[in-house]
Structure 1
Amino acid sequence: GFILFYVGLVLRFTHATTDEEFFAARIVMAIDLEIWWLRSLSFILVVRFLGPHIVAIGKMLKDLAFFMCIIAIVMTGYGVASRAMVYYPNANRFNETGISIAFNGRDIFRQIAYPVYYLMYGEFGTELDDLDNNRDEAWSISTHVLLAVHMLFVNILLTNLLIAMFSKRFDQVYEDTQNIWHTQQYIFTREYYTRAPFFPPISLIYDMYYLCRLTFFNIRRVCFKKSADPRAKTFSKLKAIGFWWH
């Protein structure tokens, strides 16, 4: 979040002389704004009944990453095979549908990855229309069969597998709700204890000062055998317990 903020700030004042150049800064700042809104969910972690649910969402995202690897392999297989049978050998037949057969990165994602991805949500676009308009062709029949197998595997088998994984993960978190809540309290308190007392971008100055001070005292301790920084911040569990107790 902080890195994107400073990148967007630099782009805003160095590469924003025209509307076209300003789009880069606008995109970076918009993505950074989205991250900041999602980051605000961290305040819910200290709520007794909602905090564990945020932890469960984080663990589910790890399961989702594994699931997306499987989905990506399956979608790539169907996308390449179907386009190889339907569109690339019959480019002139589908000129009116806006199908591009250019072999570059943008068209590969636009014609293969995007349409096949939205098949998972039941959005077929012109997929079935192009096949139904040529239903007697061998490539149309083969692609129909391939599409049926793909939808059966992805929309039924893999989707239910994902739901089962999410249910198992939620049950694991629910069984350990109390410990998770106390752990998140400790992490949340420690994070804000060590954070700069100023808000961005002023906090960057404080962070640079603290980094220089930390480097200086580390060199002093290692090279000259002197004591560490006496004013360095220290944090203990007793402080966290006392804070939440009061």
Structure 2
Amino acid sequence: MVTSCCGLGFFFFIDKLFYPGKIILCIDFVVFCLRLMAIFTINRTLGPKIIIMMDMFFFMFLLSIWVVAYGVAKQGILIHNDNRLDWIIRGAVYEPYLIIFGSFPENIDKTRFDINSCSMDGTDPMKPKCPVLNENQMTVFPEWLTIIMLCIYLLCANILLINLLIAIFNYSFEEVHDNTDRIWKFQRYQLIKEYYSRPAPPPPFIIFSHLYLFIKMVCFKTGFCKCKPTINLLKVDIYYIVSKSSKP
């Protein structure tokens, strides 16, 4: 809600911030679409499958270790004293990540290295800085070391970790498939509980409900009013709703 309000404000009312407002709205649209995945929990078939996607986040931690380890080592061996942060991140993180999908670098192999594809002193913002060169404009980095590092990285990232991800997905799919009904009822309970506790007005008017609840809470804490706090729906009541609605 905050990002959408900021994006709309920049987009319509401030001419100089038109493009930043457009970027904020685009990012907010992505978040909104991902948030819509919570609606899938209503469906008995699609709802439990969302749990399988959570395995990807734990896998990314394992993959990031190999990506950063290889990328930082490669960047340190090839490039000397590059002070451009964007190109450092590109060489240490972005390029190793693209290698997993088949985009192999050409600057680690002397036979495929092109001096015109890089900047000698790193002043060209559109080109990366050239590797360490000698007086004959030839690369001096240990080619055997960079190739061995690339082979080990491909073996661990492309073969071992990707197959590990496939095995994790197969195991999670079998577990979710065997307990589909139980998982779906639990997700439906959480969804009903979440929407029951939310204020009635839709965004962006929900801000007024939050202000009302805040003032009501302050009055209740300070003793200025004798209003009673809102009683949450009991778990037994929600369980009764879920059990009734899940029957064919």
Which TM-score bucket, shorter chain as reference? 0.7 to 0.9
Match of 1:193 among 192, 196, 213: 196
The 8 Å contact of residues 75 and 88 in structure 2, kept in 1 or not, is answered as: no
Aligned length: 220
2:192 match: secondary structure: helix
Give the TM-score normalised by the residue count of structure 2.
0.76
1:109 to 60, 70, 89: 89
**Does the 8 Å contact 2:12/2:18 carry over to 1?**
no
Displacement of 1:242: 4.9
Aligned with 1:133 (options 108, 112, 118): 112
3-state SS, counterpart of residue 112 of structure 1: helix
CA contact (8 A) 2:44 2:184 kept: yes
- Alpha-carbon RMSD: 2.8
- Please give the alpha-carbon distance, in whole angstroms, between the structure 1 residues aligned to 2:201 and 2:35: 18
| Distance in 1, Cα, partners of 2:139 & 2:30 | 49
Aligned-residue offset at 1:168: 2.4
* CA deviation after TM superposition for structure 1 residue 238, in Å: 4.1
Alignment correspondent of 1:72: 64
Equivalent-residue separation in structure 2 for 1:136 and 1:215 (angstroms):
69
Provide TM-score, normalisation by structure 1: 0.77
Deviations 1:5-36 (A, max 9, x none): 2332444466x322xx2222222211111111
* Structure 1 residues 1-246: aligned runs within 5 Å: 2-12=1-11, 16-18=14-16, 21-57=17-53, 59-61=54-56, 64-65=57-58, 67-88=59-80, 102-127=82-107, 130-133=109-112, 139-220=142-223, 229=228, 232-244=230-242, 245=244
3-state DSSP of counterpart to 2:45: coil
TM-superposed CA distance for 1:77, in Å, is 2.3
Unaligned runs of 5+ in 1: 89-100
Could you say what secondary structure the match of 2:49 adopts? helix
Between the aligned residues of both structures, percent identity stands at 27
**If each structure's helix is expressed as a fraction of its own residues, which one has the higher value?**
1
